[in-house]
Amino acid sequence: MNRNILGNSEEQVDIANLRKNYTSGGLVEDDLLDDPVEFFKLWLNQAIDSEVPEPNAMSLATVSESGKAENRIVLLKGVGKRSIQFYTNYNSRKGKSLEVNPSVAVNFWWAELERQVRMNGDAAKLSRRESEDYFQSRPRESQLGAWASEQSSEITNRAELSKSFEAVKQRFGKDPIPTPGFWGGYNITLNEIEFWQGRPGRLHDRILYTYGDGGWTFKRLQP
């Protein structure tokens, strides 16, 4: 059986031959900024202005205590001078992995712009005040959801989750919802940032910034 073929007998897709010729633009050294975080913010704003779906969605890769690599999509919620931030349940699988191994890899993919940004860094919890400030800015239903869900824990069925949500909703009534102690943010201090721009013939542009000795340096990589 050809494992590169997807679909039924009437409509089959050869995934080995799925490809796109990227033609939207290029990335030359004259376009770059000395600070890659500022350049990332420029690209992010362009993705937002271009109405890319979920422009702040990023894949977050962690490594568990047993050495198992795991990946999932989370939402970027802040950009610092040399860092980015996201929020989650500290008892989730990613939270438990970060307790033992703070090293993470992050990836943004903006297909409409034919752009990718890859980042490596080390994650640490944000201050309690920062986590509380963000939690209180969230929609009320999201606040209730944080209390109702024991993220990554096994659940019997959807009804059990709905029951938990209703119980939390009744518990707080119309009162302000406090920030759970098991919920908060992480700050990822960045060590590498790579910018990727699709080009024709798979001759893509790749610019890698590396942090060291108090500053950033960059180099061009072959595609």
Q: What is the CA radius of gyration of the chain?
A: 21
The domain that holds 103 is classified in CATH as 2.30.110.10
Classify residue 141: in a domain, yes or no: no
The answer to whether 123 touches 187, Cβ cutoff 8 Å, is yes
Number of domains in the chain: 1
pTM for the model: 0.88
Classify residue 144: in a domain, yes or no: no
Residue 19 confidence (pLDDT): 61
User: What's the average model confidence in pLDDT over 115-135?
Assistant: 97
Classify residue 140: in a domain, yes or no: no
User: What's the average model confidence in pLDDT over 69-74?
Assistant: 97
What does each C-alpha distance from 58 to 9, 132, 151, 182 come to in angstroms?
Answer: 36, 22, 19, 22
pLDDT over 90 (residue 12): no
The answer to whether 58 touches 116, Cβ cutoff 8 Å, is no
User: What's the average model confidence in pLDDT over 43-69?
Assistant: 96
Three-class SS state of 71: strand
Classify residue 56: in a domain, yes or no: yes
Confidence at 93, pLDDT banded by 50, 70, 90: very high
Catalytic-residue membership of 93: no
The answer to whether 122 touches 109, Cβ cutoff 8 Å, is no
> In percent, how much of the chain has pLDDT > 70?
90
- Domain that residue 106 falls in: 19-135+185-221
Q: Which of 72, 128, 202, 220 is catalytic?
A: 202
Cα–Cα distance for residue pair 32/39, rounded to 1 Å = 7
User: What's the average model confidence in pLDDT over 138-158?
Assistant: 92
Residue 150 confidence (pLDDT): 87
Classify residue 147: in a domain, yes or no: no
Residue 93: enclosing H or E segment and its boundaries? helix 93-100
pLDDT in tens, 168-198: 999 999 999 999 999 999 999 999 999 999 9
Residues 6+ apart with CB under 8 A from 160: none
Classify residue 45: in a domain, yes or no: yes
Q: What is the mean pLDDT of the chain?
A: 92
Of residues 35 and 150, more confidently modeled:
35
Classify residue 207: in a domain, yes or no: yes
